Structure 1
Amino acid sequence: MHFDWETFTYDEEWLREAVRIEEEAGGDISAGYGWGSQLGAVMANPQGYSHFAQLRSLVMQAWKQLVSEWDLGIGAEAAEAKGQELIMERLHRPEPEIQETLLVLLESKLSKPQGEWEMTEAVHGQIRAVFGKVLSQEDWKAIAASARDHIYSHVLKQEPVAVESL
């Protein structure tokens, strides 16, 4: 869980990663939760928030695993960040079929004692199917473009170094 309701603090590792992603993107990429007027409802139902956080973590873990399988090297972080942004946008109000799939996965996780649930290939496959349904062709192109642009930028930064070493 990213937020500790007892101490009202964020997990330090998650917070560092969120800050790093936003700095890399050059600003706010909506990595946080836009609670606004909903903060009272969130605080009144910390178990609901915990379940939301676990579901989000489950989906993002599957996304990160998928991106790592693509072997994008230095472009992986950019693809991962862009995909996370798009997935969270698309899952803001998911179709009933997508909701049902995700809720069944969450219930499965919650039914196991803490630490005993694992991200199996079957679970990963179900979440990949969700990605296939919620991400459009344009979204996939944007994810690929993010990786491409990051690699391109990195290579261009290396050009002066290569010339200086001659």
Structure 2
Amino acid sequence: MTTTPASPDSTMEAIGQAVIEGRAGDIATARQKLLDIWSTTGATGDPLHRCSLAHYMADLYEDPAQALAWDIRALDAADSLTDQRVQEHHTALQVAGFYPSLHLNLADNYRRLGSFEAATEHINAAHEHAPNLPQDAYGALLRTAIEQVSEAITQRNTAKRASAPGHPA
């Protein structure tokens, strides 16, 4: 999604840099940088920082239980966010657009753990929030992932999806 930066935010910039390192394969460094930011942000810090950091931190864990803990933190932080706060970071963002991805990730983690009832609740929430996705490549990617996870839940499949974020299985 293309957005217009509203104002500089050194914490969001540091999170973004760690994400780039993690996606480039330096998982250990990215994880440590995000943990360092978390230690200063904490569980009661800026909800945008907490949501973003936890959302990306989850992608750095192969273990679905560890990823789940971070994804729960991300959803909790999103529930404290306002459109005003996210638009201070990027003018085109809305909190409603966060929920499809957050619920998708929770559904996928629960599915991988074999907790299909919880997975179903979150994939249903992802479907309900999907109309808030942009009509662009990012939105299409998430809509496809929602369908893939939904199908995997139906099949009671606990294998990691090839298209899942994070490093390869």
TM > 0.5: no
TM-score (norm 1): 0.24
Instruction: Point out the structure with max Rg over C-alpha.
Output: 1
Normalized against structure 2, the TM-score is what? 0.23
Higher RCO, 1 vs 2 (CA within 8 Å, ≥6 residues apart): 1
